[in-house]
Structure 1
Amino acid sequence: MEVNVKNMNNLISNVYRNSIADEIGIEIGDILLSINGEKVEDIIQYKFLISDDYIELEIKKRNGRIYLYEIEKEYDEELGIEFTNPIIDKAKSCRNKCVFCFIDQLPEGMRETLYFKDDDSRLSFLQGNFVTLTNMSEDDINNIIRYRISPINISVHTTNPELRRKMISNKFAGKLMDTMKRLADAGIEMNAQIVLCPGYNDKEELERTLEDLASLHPYVHSAAIVPVGITRYRDGLAKLEIFDEESASQTIDQINELQEKYLERLKTRFAFLSDEFYIIAKRPLLEYDEYEGFLQFEDGVGMITKMGTEIVNYLKTITDDERLSKTKKVSIATGQSSYEFMCDMAKEIMNKFKNIDINVYRIKNNFFGETITVSGLLTATDLIDQLKDEDLGETLYITRSMMKSDEEIFLDNITLKELEEKLKIEIIPCQNEGIDVVDKITK
């Protein structure tokens, strides 16, 4: 029996050793045709269909023969296979033209994948991406509910229908609350993100948005608020202002009041500002416990507090350790927004390890413009230009977030290896975790 497979999106690229798939003889290069007689076109559909404790798997082998496997397993147990395309069919590109879109502010010559705007609910579930919900058909909404895709990360920005249509430039953008209410009624959990743009969705509009979102709690877990980022490549785009010390302070005061109200009403602070607001305003961040488990950590909410607490606490546990006798001189390169914090952490480490000398270098973002201050948007070009004449010691440490998540390559298409060759030094990326930072610097 021959089957005409139009594409190779269901091509199996990996089989985990000792997994169910490995045990029954599924191999790399095989093609998944169906599960329980249903053609698989979506990774969410795949995960839903394999969750049962009995499934029938139709596989086309590389020689063209087709086999039907009857599998009994534990409920929700994985089969142990991966596909060449992690979401099986193509990711959906974004049809919006957001006034604050960072991709529209990119110069030429960067990593090719950076220019693709995704707006795919499956990537929200699988990778933590935020989606606007404007790119979703009725079938997409039904699939989220049917397959229990949860949590969904939603780029909200505003719940004011008219303002949202203006900010996102999509005529369907005003349907947001109707869609979110439908998802909440179905028990789908959501996280919300608001890119705050002065003069657009701040102040009264921000309060309105948060009140609307809070009305859907607990299905909307929390709302992260991040300041708009503006690069020097905004030619021909809508005029936007950035936050300064005064406007950032006003936003902090506004959120503090709302957090007190939500704590009493919802038993959660619900709305959280990213660290950038506090740095711009020169105000102290929240305490560790006030971040309530760091629900929006990937949005930069509480990242500094979490890492600082982890570093200090971990250093206290190190007593009789061979690392205390190893003399070394090293460097850390970081963005402007985290420079003071990294200087403080370097002092904490040097106070514990008298034999280690750490220099912290503040890297200005000349590539995108000095209004971009976060470390994750630094390029290898700026690292080279600003560190090439410095005494960096034996090792340079950077945050892993400067590079692509699955590859050691920077935004400007320069690899980690190439950067090491340019600076003539070993470079070690660190995760945004206190223990990882201390261990890599001191071992």
Structure 2
Amino acid sequence: MQSNRVDKQKIKGGIIASLLHDSLAKNLGLKVGDIITHINGVELLDILDYRFQIAEESIVLEVRREEETFSLECEKEYDEDLGVEFDDVLFDQIRRCQNNCDFCFIYQLPKKMRRSLYVKDDDYRLSFLYGNYVTLAGLKEFDYQKIIEYNLSPLYVSVHATDLEARRELLRNPKAEDIIDRISYLIQNGIEVYTQAVICPGLNEGPILEQTMNDLVKLYPGVKALGIVPVGLTQYQSRLKNMQVHTVAQARETIAMIEKYQKAFILDYGHPFMQIADEFYLKAEMPVPSKEHYADFQLLENGIGGIRQFVDSFSENYDPQDTAPGKSVGVITGKDGAYMFKEYILPVMNPSHRQKIQILEIENQHFGNSVTVSGLMVGSDILKQVKPGTADRYLLPSNCLKFDTPVFLDDLGVTDLEKHLGAEIMILNPGAVDFLEGIFEA
């Protein structure tokens, strides 16, 4: 049975994609393509249901195989798994976003990209599993009870504004609930929350942002942090006729206001509750602050603290006495990454090392030049802007590729780029240690 033919609207349950060798599942006679629909009478809607229900010594599986449904009884150790992998972590369907935020990145994508990129998800299960930010809009009491019963903590919540009317306007959702009430309910039941606010000039800055910070800081330590990020706009946005990205002056004004609250909180608690995205400092043409402003760097995935962590890690791990690389290295990066290398990294390197390195700043023509992060680089832009023979070897950050395969957002593969450049491309995880290994392995 081919798992991709199963209609998840009709048949819920986990579709087995593979079985571990000599596993309990194999001993029970389970096969690839079988659908585990229930454990101990509980319907499985996702991997979380499976993990929770499998943690028993006596289990009864209900399994569907093609048109047949049958049950299997099993005695096992409390923490023993079946030894199966499913084709997806969600067994029903992804929870679609009920909001219509004008600044949503989905609305700013060009046409004819991968279909999966156009999915607007707002699924608390993906928030727990992968750190996706969700708005909590549209959650039912069943969902909250599941979050609490399974202790799905921490969750990552897009607040944007705590003022109810402002938030409803930002989300374009007149039914959005009071977010402070919802977060408070989660905290009271033992769920920790990380929050974010995407700041749109003229909409949720100034007094509205001040209220957001004041309201959320009262919920500390249940709310662990508030990440504050500038709105990003691509050349394809059509819903935001009057919105612009932050000017230098606007970015500096916003940073000054946030840092006033941040400094007070650090003095009182030794913790920077409000954390400002690196991109804000770059827009303001200001240096990024010290590591004390980022706590333990919990918000790296949201573009907060990455530059400071990279620079500090580079300082700790770089040895200027190392033998110079034998080959020239081209570092492929976006505008923000190029700024970091040119401002903080290259100036402190041994000249014999530095002369082997070229920072290849890629202008984002695909999404528009206001998009400056390396995570949105596409292969076609690199193809057009980097000439063959530029370097003996190239370094590429992994965050611009699909998580499970070396393919860019525009579906160009890294192997295609290697053929064009006539040289190896080394894919690196973000971080100074990997960068140094990439340089000195050349």
Give 2:337's aligned amino acid: S
User: 1: CA distance between counterparts of 2:314 and 2:27?
Assistant: 43
Q: 2:391 aligned with 1:387, yes or no?
A: no
Q: Residue 420 of structure 1: CA displacement?
A: 2.1
Q: Deviations over 1:16-68 (max 9, x none)?
A: 34655456654433321322222212222222222345544444567957352
User: 2: CA distance between counterparts of 1:377 and 1:425?
Assistant: 23
Q: TM-score, normalised by structure 1?
A: 0.90
- Range 150-159 or range 33-42, more displaced: 33-42
Q: 1:353 to 1:256 in 2, by over 3 A?
A: same
Q: Residue 365 of structure 1: CA displacement?
A: 1.2
Give 2:252's aligned amino acid: S
- Range 370-379 or range 22-31, more displaced: 22-31
Q: Residue 265 of structure 1: CA displacement?
A: 4.0
Give 1:423's aligned amino acid: L
Equivalent residue for 2:142, pick from 116, 139, 143: 139
Aligned length: 434
Q: Residue 175 of structure 1: CA displacement?
A: 2.5
Q: 2:14 aligned with 1:28, yes or no?
A: no
Moved over 6 A (4+): none
User: 1: CA distance between counterparts of 2:440 and 2:29?
Assistant: 46
- Give the corresponding residue for 1:110: 113
- Give the corresponding residue for 2:410: 412
Equivalent residue for 1:435, pick from 433, 436, 439: 433
User: 1: CA distance between counterparts of 2:345 and 2:298?
Assistant: 27
Give 1:387's aligned amino acid: V
Could you tell me whether the CA contact under 8 Å between 1:157 and 1:193 is conserved in 2? yes
- Give the corresponding residue for 1:422: 420
Q: 2:132 aligned with 1:129, yes or no?
A: yes
Q: 2:335 aligned with 1:332, yes or no?
A: no
Q: 1:349 to 1:13 in 2, by over 3 A?
A: farther
Give 1:436's aligned amino acid: D
Could you tell me whether the CA contact under 8 Å between 1:43 and 1:122 is conserved in 2? no
Q: 1:242 to 1:266 in 2, by over 3 A?
A: same
User: 2: CA distance between counterparts of 1:110 and 1:173?
Assistant: 30
Give 1:251's aligned amino acid: T
Q: Residue 341 of structure 1: CA displacement?
A: 1.3
Task: Say which SS state the counterpart of residue 122 (structure 2) adopts.
Answer: coil
Q: 2:248 aligned with 1:245, yes or no?
A: yes
User: 2: CA distance between counterparts of 1:89 and 1:274?
Assistant: 35
Give 2:52's aligned amino acid: F
Task: Say which SS state the counterpart of residue 281 (structure 2) adopts.
Answer: helix
Q: 2:398 aligned with 1:400, yes or no?
A: yes
Q: Deviations over 1:322-376 (max 9, x none)?
A: xx36511110121112212123566379528649711111111122111111111
For residues 87-102 of structure 1, the aligned pairs below 5 Å read 87-102=90-105
Q: Deviations over 1:387-410 (max 9, x none)?
A: 13x642111212111112222211
User: 1: CA distance between counterparts of 2:435 and 2:37?
Assistant: 45
Q: Residue 254 of structure 1: CA displacement?
A: 1.2
Q: 2:89 aligned with 1:86, yes or no?
A: yes
Q: 1:164 to 1:416 in 2, by over 3 A?
A: same
For residues 139-158 of structure 1, the aligned pairs below 5 Å read 139-158=142-161
Q: Deviations over 1:95-123 (max 9, x none)?
A: 21102111101111222211111111111
Give 2:41's aligned amino acid: G
Could you tell me whether the CA contact under 8 Å between 1:326 and 1:355 is conserved in 2? no
Task: Say which SS state the counterpart of residue 225 (structure 1) adopts.
Answer: strand
Q: 1:241 to 1:381 in 2, by over 3 A?
A: same
Q: Deviations over 1:222-278 (max 9, x none)?
A: 011110001111224452121121111112211211112222444421110010111
Equivalent residue for 2:206, pick from 203, 222, 225: 203
User: 1: CA distance between counterparts of 2:414 and 2:251?
Assistant: 35
- Range 222-231 or range 47-56, more displaced: 47-56
User: 1: CA distance between counterparts of 2:171 and 2:428?
Assistant: 35
Q: 2:369 aligned with 1:370, yes or no?
A: yes
Task: Say which SS state the counterpart of residue 440 (structure 1) adopts.
Answer: helix
Q: 1:227 to 1:326 in 2, by over 3 A?
A: closer
Task: Name stretches of at least 5 consecutive residues in structure 2 with no aligned partner.
Answer: 1-7
Give 1:329's aligned amino acid: S
Task: Say which SS state the counterpart of residue 437 (structure 2) adopts.
Answer: helix
- Range 252-261 or range 217-226, more displaced: 252-261
- Give the corresponding residue for 1:15: 19
Task: Say which SS state the counterpart of residue 338 (structure 1) adopts.
Answer: helix
- Give the corresponding residue for 2:228: 225
Equivalent residue for 1:192, pick from 195, 198, 203: 195
Could you tell me whether the CA contact under 8 Å between 1:329 and 1:395 is conserved in 2? yes
Give 2:264's aligned amino acid: K
Q: Residue 153 of structure 1: CA displacement?
A: 0.7
Give 2:311's aligned amino acid: G
Percent same amino acid among aligned pairs? 34
User: 1: CA distance between counterparts of 2:82 and 2:297?
Assistant: 32
User: 2: CA distance between counterparts of 1:407 and 1:87?
Assistant: 20
Task: Say which SS state the counterpart of residue 154 (structure 1) adopts.
Answer: strand
Give 1:405's aligned amino acid: F
User: 1: CA distance between counterparts of 2:280 and 2:302?
Assistant: 12
Task: Name stretches of at least 5 consecutive residues in structure 1 with no aligned partner.
Answer: none
